[in-house]
């Protein structure tokens, strides 16, 4: 029987879902049909920070619960941190490069852009960290798919845009990246670059089949990052950043940061722990950030 995979209709969402569909077909021997679902976030031109948490996933989850689709693929960073009743993340495939990427005119890097350069990004987290560099850039809030954003550079409307490297890579457009930004300079969003494959928790056979796509190291890293976000009680559009790396000896190294939009206030800390204690690593780092005044910084971002 054909499996119905729910996806948003953007080029990136379809590319991501296509990769998962191929992997599921290989793992299960069953055909997978893509079913496009329009979400409230797709219908709105408002900045992501104003749309609220989960705006790109609610319609997909509704379709799952209504049994209009069998499973869904999400960009994991778009998911609320609270679990969804009746649903389970059956697989987290191996993560793409989690870094942010710069696409700039004349093949320039970030530090080569002149003071006053207009840089487009939709993320408060990126705006805050770029502001903290004090390089005199003008940060321009933008929305739209990857093609729309990059076209603002090629048309001359903007000098550069910053977006997730993973999305550009999944669309086969890495040749347009002028710099992949070091996380020491620009710390990514929690779960950036990771996908979540979700199905109904009652569909035990399907959940077990989808689990063949799961990548344990990616799951541990993303679990730590999202535990950090949850413990800070911040949404996916808040100026909170986090990146976990799994070492060769199977330990988690988690870096996290909270920022004020103007970049004047920032707290960056790190924590380590075992793969089996991924949530604990995230919670401990959140506690350390809060002890250092994270609530005050996040409060100034409200």
Tell me which residues are annotated as active site. Answer: 78
Strands 251-259 and 240-246: antiparallel
Neighbours of 29 (CB within 10 A): 8
Polymer length in residues for the chain: 302
SS (H, E, C) 57-83: CHHHHHHHHCCCCCEEEEEHHHCCCCC
Q: How far is CA 179 from CA 98, 265, 295, in A?
A: 13, 26, 32
Cα–Cα distance for residue pair 39/146, rounded to 1 Å:
17
Residue with tokens 């069953």: 30
Smallest CA-to-CA distance from 120 within 100, 98, 96, 97 is with 100
């Amino acid at each position: 029987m054909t499996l119905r995979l729910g996806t948003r209709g953007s080029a990136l969402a379809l590319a991501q879902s296509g990769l998962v569909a191929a992997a599921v077909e290989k793992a299960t021997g069953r055909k997978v049909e893509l079913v496009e679902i329009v979400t409230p976030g797709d219908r709105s031109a408002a900045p992501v920070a104003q749309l609220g948490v989960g705006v790109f996933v609610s319609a997909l989850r509704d379709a799952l619960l209504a049994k209009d689709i069998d499973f869904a693929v999400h960009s994991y960073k778009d998911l609320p941190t609270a679990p969804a009743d009746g649903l389970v993340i059956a697989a987290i495939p191996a993560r793409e490069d989690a870094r942010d990427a710069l696409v700039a005119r004349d093949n320039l890097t970030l530090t080569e852009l002149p003071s006053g350069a207009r840089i487009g990004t939709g993320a408060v987290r990126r705006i805050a960290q770029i502001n903290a560099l004090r390089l005199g850039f003008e940060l321009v809030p933008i929305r739209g798919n990857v093609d729309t954003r990059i076209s603002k550079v090629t048309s001359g409307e903007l000098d550069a845009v910053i977006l997730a490297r993973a999305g550009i890579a999944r669309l086969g457009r890495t040749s347009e990246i002028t710099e992949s930004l070091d996380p020491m300079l620009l710390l990514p969003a929690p779960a950036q670059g990771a996908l979540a494959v979700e199905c109904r928790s009652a569909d035990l056979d399907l959940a077990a089949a989808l689990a063949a796509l799961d990548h344990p190291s990616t799951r541990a890293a993303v679990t730590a990052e999202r535990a950090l976000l949850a413990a800070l009680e911040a949404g996916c559009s808040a100026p909170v950043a986090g990146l976990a790396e799994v070492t060769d000896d199977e330990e988690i190294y988690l870096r996290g940061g909270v920022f004020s939009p103007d970049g004047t206030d920032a707290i960056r800390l790190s924590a380590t722990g075992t793969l089996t204690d991924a949530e604990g690593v995230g919670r401990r780092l959140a506690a350390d950030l809060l002890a250092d005044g994270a609530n005050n910084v996040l409060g100034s971002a409200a």
